Structure 1
Amino acid sequence: MKKILGGLALAICAVHFPASANTIYLTRHAEKSATGTDPVLTAEGQVRATNIAATLKDARVKHVYSTAYQRTQQTAQPLATYLNLPVTAYDPSQLAAFAQQLRALPDNALVVGHSDTTPDLIRQLGGDPGSAIAETEFDRLYQVTFAADGAVTTTLLHSLPSSLNLPCASVSLNQSSLTATAGNWLYFTINVPECANTLNVNMSGGSGDGDLYVRVGAQPTANDYACRPYKNGNTESCALSNPQAGTWHIGIRSYTTFSGVSLNASAVQ
């Protein structure tokens, strides 16, 4: 039997810690930097991670799990440090086996994952994660409890946000001396924050002929893109107003062999 309840962790004292023999707390990593292939937490994310630790410090957590990425490890670390526990890595591609491991624990645990793996793991545990987690949503804290009769109850809490009011950080991507032979692609990404009003992508310089493509959420193709300037040579640009927050993919397709090309992109408020 499954049950899902709604709750809001407006204060630490408002969180109910059940006497169940096994309770698993699950959350997505906190706010992350908009750059890099393995981004770290932002200042806001670090505060949220600390708030998660404060919320769960009395929840009788005996195990702390995280994927191997910096953003998840840094979200898990404050609670692990407070409780003097290690952060144990798990494989997000093996969620069914990991769920069995969690169900077999005699103790409570915190599991830090991602916007896609966290709901999947809750389902593997027999719980109900509710609606999909948005790319800009970082506050869900799930409490999955297992009763003696086999019933699984999913309670949706919310971690406290940062009290910081930091200005929107500009994000940039700069590549130079790019080279590709005819018919091949080069791909790059830039993570656009929610506060960005404009995304500018510029290609210039070098010899040959490269074609610029820009797309959100997936690599562009010759037939699927958000911007494609259609110009000869290597001087092409895309300016997108109010871009969707998330990962934007930039592709340069070599119409003819090119070399010495520069690529610059920026997301600004």
Structure 2
Amino acid sequence: MKKLVILLSLTFIFTQLAVAQKTEIWIVRHAEKDNSDPKNTNPDLSAEGQKRAQKLLDYMADIKLDKAFSTPYKRTRQTLTPLVKAKGIELVDYNDVAQLAKQIRKDYSGKKVIIAGHSNTILEIVEAFGIARPVAAIAEKEFNNIFHIILEADLMGLDMNTYGD
């Protein structure tokens, strides 16, 4: 009987620890893209965008990340590439924002992840985690926002910051 009580107590404690884990999510827009060919729907980053991708690595230098997520476009993938290489983490493509949020909640509880999106999707990603948009929209020329979401038990928090120039 004593062993059963101990086993149940340990199970309860480990369950509570799993539930109370802090999940951290950073969301960024891709860096500046090369606009030299207006017909190109999947351009690379511009030289300025490559510098910003490096600045993202500088901003995240002291943060241990577990996974990176990107839309399947060159500019989002290239924005995260310096970070992914430096941290030795996997970069995974996503297409569906709601499915991504669900996957992160399920598979990355207690972990730290970064997501790269677009001016018209990063606020949608914030909302997919149950947090109201901190701003109405992201301007076409705005590339320096970084959103940090913290999910812990029933608490949610959002910090909006900037990085680079």
CA deviation string 1:66-91 (max 9, x = no partner): 11100000001011000111211111
Deviation at 1:124, TM superposition (A): 0.7
1-side partners of 2:63 and 2:133: how far apart? Answer: 20
2:55 match? 51
In the alignment, structure 1 residue 88 sits paired with structure 2 residue 88: no
2-side partners of 1:58 and 1:101: how far apart? Answer: 25
1-side partners of 2:129 and 2:74: how far apart? Answer: 25
TM-score using structure 1 length: 0.50
Q: CA RMSD in A?
A: 1.2
* Contact 2:64/2:87, CA 8 A, preserved across alignment: no
Matching residue's letter, 1:118? I
1:127 match? 131
SS in 2 for 1:23: strand
Which of 76, 81, 99 pairs up with 2:80?
Answer: 76
TM-score using structure 2 length: 0.80
Considering fraction of residues, name the structure with more strand. 1
Larger radius of gyration: 1
Deviation at 1:147, TM superposition (A): 2.1
1-side partners of 2:92 and 2:61: how far apart? Answer: 18
Q: Which structure has the higher relative contact order (CA within 8 Å, separation 6+)?
A: 2
Considering fraction of residues, name the structure with more helix. 2
* Contact 1:128/1:154, CA 8 A, preserved across alignment: no
1-side partners of 2:142 and 2:132: how far apart? Answer: 18
1-side partners of 2:64 and 2:138: how far apart? Answer: 27
Which of 111, 119, 122 pairs up with 1:115?
Answer: 119
Which of 57, 60, 64 pairs up with 1:60?
Answer: 64
Structure 2: gaps of 5 or more residues: 1-20
* Contact 2:25/2:115, CA 8 A, preserved across alignment: yes
SS in 2 for 1:152: strand
2-side partners of 1:48 and 1:99: how far apart? Answer: 25
SS in 2 for 1:82: helix
SS in 2 for 1:68: coil
Structure 1: gaps of 5 or more residues: 1-19, 162-269
* Alignment of structure 1 residues 54-203 onto 2, 5 Å: 54-91=58-95, 94-104=96-106, 105=108, 106-131=110-135, 132-148=137-153, 150-161=154-165
1-side partners of 2:53 and 2:45: how far apart? Answer: 9
For this pair of structures, how many residues does the alignment match? 139
* Contact 2:33/2:44, CA 8 A, preserved across alignment: yes
